[in-house]
Chains A and B, each alone.
Chain A
């Protein structure tokens, strides 16, 4: 095989998977026959109780109901998108996670088309799901960069307080991570400022501290390592002490992903290290 044809073969799947639309297949949930009988009214009534603390089966039942619901209140709400995000966050299989996130984007798209455009939560969960769906795919992420930014800006304008400063957290992180000017929308000063606001206004959310720590490192304007470490440790303490339900494992992974860059030993390894010291 020539190098030219080999290259074509190498690049084709990347382009096909990388630049294709978001996943459209729906995840098949197990044991749906065990679901309680739901109605639109019942779901609307309990929607605020559904979230990170809910059992996965409970959320799956709700999403399954929403898939076929024609109820206008539910269709224009952020509920479907939010529940998909909750499920996607706790899903360890990448393919299923991305399908759930893709469905969350679709639910939000339906909500916007059904009159939910003025609801900041719809834009917030659209952006959060979209970010989750594309984060492992370079070209797909690049293709969706402007859409991500646009949805986050709308969420920030309409509902800045949702999810303990979620719009500030997401938009700030996007500006930290995205390719910078002149090639992209990345702007670390802007991202730093948004994450600083997130930490000040919503100091109890672990991820606000984690992402702010990352922003401090990205800015690196002197004394960054120590300041970043302090934020990281604070965030990790909040995560350890708080009741974050099923969000906790995925957030712990987010912390672990940044641990080496920050230079903070993991709790497990530090315990192991202490045990060795005491031997």
Chain B
């Protein structure tokens, strides 16, 4: 899941999920992200208060918990045992068996429900990914090396042993370092890659590696802790949101075209890749 977009989705989706599960906190995991928990909780809280008022729930009865730390996310999933969670694809794959996770909805962004990851370098410095062996690789998505290795590189490269990883929680900082020649390469998600044109980098860059299409992840549910009815009703609600006159504005604000109920089979190839990488 795209990191920056994921944060926005997290804020967008949190109150909706609460409708289906007003008695359970929504666990929102954003590992490696740049949003601090206080700001994220404040943003979600202000939206939840509106949900409570209009939905005629007692003020303060709906809540969500947010973390930008992978370890904390795992602990929250264990402690809270949530019905619903907003999680990256990496978290979904990692926690899938432990928490019986099933995908509920998937966003469409810029007309597509998938994304590709790319490794970029300063133009002319390297000719292939193999030449980056032992070189420095930066980026915001490196906090989940398992996901990068098994899914993005489809098991062909093990990031922790192939590269010298320099994880950052700011994509723009990694790109500035690349531009200055302080690091050799940066791995970007789709949204970051598409935003490159808006940066005034001094040196031209080129793409050395492009992943296969990877499905975007939105919201997941604990298949045992939630009922099929709750998942379907929540999924249908989300699916109608961006075509709804009022909901459209929020979707536009967060750059999401639409949400759609997702067939879990969509993620089967990812699950297979993940298992194969073990």
Q: How far is the CA of A66 from the CA of B159 in the complex (A)?
A: 64
Residue among A8, A180, A218 having the largest count of chain B Cβ atoms under 10 Å: A180
* Distance A4 CA – B47 CA, assembled complex (angstroms): 17
Q: Mark A178-214, 1 if CB is under 8 A from B, else 0.
A: 0111110011110000000000000000000000000
Distance in angstroms from B264 CB to nearest chain A CB is 21
Q: Given A12-B246, A14-B47, A179-B7, does the pair A3, B253 have CB atoms closer than 8 Å?
A: no
Q: How far is the CB of B22 from chain A (nearest CB, A)?
A: 12
Find the A residue at minimum CB distance from B55. Answer: A10
Chain A facing B: main interface SS: helix
Q: Is the interface of B mostly helix, strand, loop or mixed?
A: helix
Complex interface residues of chain B between 1 and 49 (CB less than 8 A to chain A) = 4-5, 7-8, 11, 15-16, 19, 34, 36, 38-39, 43, 46-47
> Are B46 and A137 interface neighbours, CB within 8 A?
yes
User: Which of chain B's residues 44-69 have a Cβ closer than 8 Å to chain A?
Assistant: 46-47, 50-51, 53-55
A180-B34, A183-B4, A261-B38 given; A10·B170 CB < 8 A: no
Say yes or no: A139 contacts B255, CB within 8 Å. no
- Contact indicator A3/B4 (Cβ below 8 Å): no
Give the complex CA separation of A138 and B253 in angstroms.
10
Assembly CA distance A182 to B38 (angstroms): 22
Instruction: Check A6 against B249 for contact (C-beta < 8 Å).
Output: no
Shortest CB distance B173–A (Å) = 6
User: Is A55 part of the contact surface with B, judged by Cβ < 8 Å?
Assistant: no
CB nearest to B233 among chain A residues? A3
Find A138's partner among B47, B54, B240, B245 (CB 8 Å cutoff): B47
Answer whether residue A11 sits at the interface, using C-beta atoms and an 8 A cutoff: yes
* Residues from chain B with Cβ under 8 Å of A139 in the complex: 249-250, 253
Interface size on A, residues (CB 8 A): 36
Q: Which of these binds chain A: B127-135, B190-198, B202-210?
A: B190-198
Chain A residues positioned under 8 Å from B36 (CB to CB): 217-218, 261
Q: A45: CB under 8 A from chain B?
A: no
Q: Which residue of the partner chain, among A7, A138, A183, contacts B16 with CB atoms under 8 Å?
A: A7
Knowing A3-B233, A13-B50, A182-B194 touch, does A8 contact B247 (C-beta < 8 A)? yes
> Which chain A residues numbered 11 to 36 have a C-beta less than 8 Å away from chain B?
11-15, 17, 19
Q: Which of A7, A138, A188, A258 has the most B CB atoms < 10 Å from its CB?
A: A7
- A14 B4 Cβ-Cβ under 8 A: no
Q: A3 contacts which of B54, B170, B194, B237 (Cβ < 8 Å)?
A: B237
For B193, the closest partner residue in chain A by CB is A182
Q: Measuring CB to CB, which residues of chain A are less than 8 angstroms from any residue of chain B?
A: 3-4, 6-15, 17, 19, 136-139, 142, 177, 179-183, 186-189, 217-218, 220, 257-258, 260-261
The 7 tightest CB contacts between A and B, nearest first, are A182-B195, A3-B237, A4-B240, A12-B246, A14-B50, A181-B172, A11-B246
Which B residues are within 8 Å of any A CB, using their own CB?
4-5, 7-8, 11, 15-16, 19, 34, 36, 38-39, 43, 46-47, 50-51, 53-55, 169-173, 176, 191-192, 194-195, 198-199, 233-234, 236-237, 240-241, 244-247, 249-250, 253, 255
